[in-house]
Amino acid sequence: MLTALGSHPWAYPMLEVVHLFGIALLLGNLVLLELRVFGLGPTLPVDALARLSQTLAGLGFVLAAVSGLTMFGTMPGELLANRVFTAKMALILLAGCNAGLFHARDSLRKLDATARGLMVVSTVIWLLVLTCGRWIGYT
Ligand code: HEM
Domain boundaries, the chain: 2-136
CA distances from 115 to 11, 12, 42, 120 (A): 40, 38, 17, 9
* Ligand 1 neighbourhood includes 30 CB (under 6 angstroms): no
* Ligand 1 neighbourhood includes 36 CB (under 6 angstroms): no
Q: Which DSSP category does 43 fall into? A: T
Q: Are 111 and 45 in contact (CB under 8 A)?
A: no
* Ligand 1 neighbourhood includes 126 CB (under 6 angstroms): yes
**DSSP H helices in 38-112:** 46-74, 76-80, 83-104, 107-110
Measured by CA distance, the residue closest to atom 20 of ligand 1 is 133
13 contact partners, CB below 8 Å, separation of at least 6: none
* Ligand 1 neighbourhood includes 60 CB (under 6 angstroms): no
pLDDT digits (tens, 9 = 90+) for 61-83: 999 999 999 999 999 999 999 99
Cα-to-centroid distance, 49 and ligand 1 (Å) = 27
pLDDT digits (tens, 9 = 90+) for 119-134: 999 999 999 999 999 9
Indicate the residue type of 14. Answer: M
